[in-house]
A = this chain, B = another copy of it.
Amino acid sequence: MLTVYGMKSSGNCYKVQLLLEQLGRPYRWVEVNSAAGETRTPQYLAMNANGKVPLLEREPGRWLAESNAILCYLAEGSALWPADAWTRAQMLQWLFFEQYSHEPCVAVARFICVYLPPDHARRAELPRLRERAAQALAVMEQHLQSHAFFAGDDYSIADIALFAYTDKAADGGIDLSPYPQVLAWLARVRQQPGHVAQQV
């Protein structure tokens, strides 16, 4: 059986949970408290030298890191994986957009606001993070003005990847009201069969 090493409060880990639930694949979840240093133990680093969650264990000794790579591996061949090569390329474009232009601002703003003390020095990063988040959200808003989902006409893992932290943007003090198409898309994603909300 597949094992996921993850932290329920992490959007990157939630992506994997959501996909597995929607695929109806059985899996074992091992909760790893990254904030308490549990991804930096010698045992964990032997599984993932980069010391991050989520991590997929296909079988003992065979591990896959990087949330969006895990989504690709699990979704390939399913209805959440576009059959057309160009649509698949668009899906990958949005997966890389998510990790480069979206997660490093939307998720990090959430981390600072939710998990660090209110007087922490990293709060100084928030204005710049929110400015960059607004740029990413504007790119998404523009795309959604003429598309229901991110890759082609159908729900795919690009939507799962972008949903995770966009749905929690308010936690980082990021207001989604200027992005009505993004709000409508979040609602469409929540209506997909087998959808589960992030519980933390």
Contacts and interface: CB of A to CB of B under 8 A. Distances in A.
Interface of A: 49-50, 58, 62, 64-70, 72-73, 76, 85-86, 88-90, 92-93, 95-97, 99-101, 103-104, 138-139, 142-143
B76 A96 contact: no
Work out how many copies of this chain go into the complex: 2
Contacts of A50: 97, 101, 139
B85 A49 contact: no
Contact of A66 (B72, B85, B92): B92
A62 B87 CA distance: 11
Nearest to A142: B49
A61 B62 CA distance: 42
A66 B96 contact: yes
A100 B95 CA distance: 12
A93 B65 contact: yes
Given A49-B139, A104-B104, A139-B50, A72 B92 contact: yes
Given A69-B96, A73-B89, A73-B92, 9 more contacts: A65-B97, A68-B92, A69-B89, A96-B96, A96-B99, A99-B99, A99-B100, A100-B100, A100-B104
29 contacts: A49-B138, A49-B139, A49-B143, A50-B97, A58-B86, A62-B86, A64-B86, A64-B89, A64-B90, A64-B93, A65-B97, A66-B92, A66-B97, A66-B100, A68-B92, A68-B96, A69-B89, A69-B90, A69-B93, A69-B96, A73-B86, A73-B88, A73-B89, A73-B92, A76-B85, A95-B96, A99-B99, A100-B100, A104-B104
Nearest to A101: B50
A143 B63 CA distance: 13
